[in-house]
Structure 1
Amino acid sequence: MDHPDLSAAPHTDDRARRPADAPADPYAPLGPLLAAEAAAEALPGGGVEAADLEQAVWLRLLELGGPPPEPDRWVRRAVRAEARAHARRIRSERPYGDPDAAGPPAQLRGVEELVLAAEQHRTVQAAVRRLPGRCPQVVTALMSRSDPTYREISRELGISQGSIGPLRSRCLGCLRTILNSRVGSPVRRGNAR
């Protein structure tokens, strides 16, 4: 029995095997709906473009592995969800080089961060009070919000202006030791090292 030579048969693609009434692409009817929904959600000045929304929703759609059972409803929900997700990302982003990029603005900081900052301030203040000799007065003067000069500090504390620099170095060294150990103050006699 002779078998036909299949290698010589003309190449047929999937379209030739598909019934005539079946659409060529099951996703094709979703294109115009998706474009309209994305255009409606991408308002001018909103920070998201319609093309970006379309691309994100197409990706979601392809990850499903087939068209959803209620495509119009699914597309509307998916576009809105992508628009909300994009808006959340925009709110949390900071431009490179922005002075506020180191942390969120004060009004956006959480309660936990505020409590931790207050606790850190109390810890430093307690450590300053435990410093030996004139160090509490010197460090308090240096930490003043008025940012006094050495001349103003020397007048206020009654010490020579030339001794403030070395005294400041010793006091900050003691403060660093106290904060690192968190045990207590060094011995109040002799020079602090």
Structure 2
Amino acid sequence: MTHPEPHLLRTLAPLLAAESRAEAPAAGVDAGDLEQAVWLRLLERLRADDAPSRPADWLRRAVRAEARRARRAALRELPYREEEGAAEPDASPESSALVSERRRVVRAAVRRTPGRCPRLLAAMLDPADPTYREIAGELGISQGSLGPMRSRCLGCLRRMLAAEVPAPHPRGRVR
């Protein structure tokens, strides 16, 4: 692996920050998360000895590509809504049991995730609803790293839970 020229990185940093700030609002993401994702893509290319011949142009295209990826992801994600039965004090015992079981399964899967994911996901599931700054301080990482890390951890959790829960049959029956 060749080490990136420090001058190149210092030169690209202001451009990347400006491009990320410009694209982030339309993509619905934090500019720091967008910037972090592009830095990772650049470092992956440099590690593979595939340095872009025109770094500034590559960087602009990479920011736009990451912003498009974030917009597509946002379209697929559904906003969290309170689980049925969880907010109702008159919920049936069956409903309460199902909600409790779902929570138990999710928390057990969170504990089995790799690396820092269990701590990050536990912090995000905390009823006290800590801010990104508080979570970053608790984990000892930069706030800009939380978005990409959260995305990777949620992807891992999603794959784990998908493997445990049978997919519904096209006509509603369980396979």
Return the TM-score normalized by structure 2: 0.44
Q: Which has the larger radius of gyration?
A: 1
Return the TM-score normalized by structure 1: 0.40
Which structure shows the higher helix fraction?
A: 2
Higher relative contact order (CA 8 A, sep 6+): 2
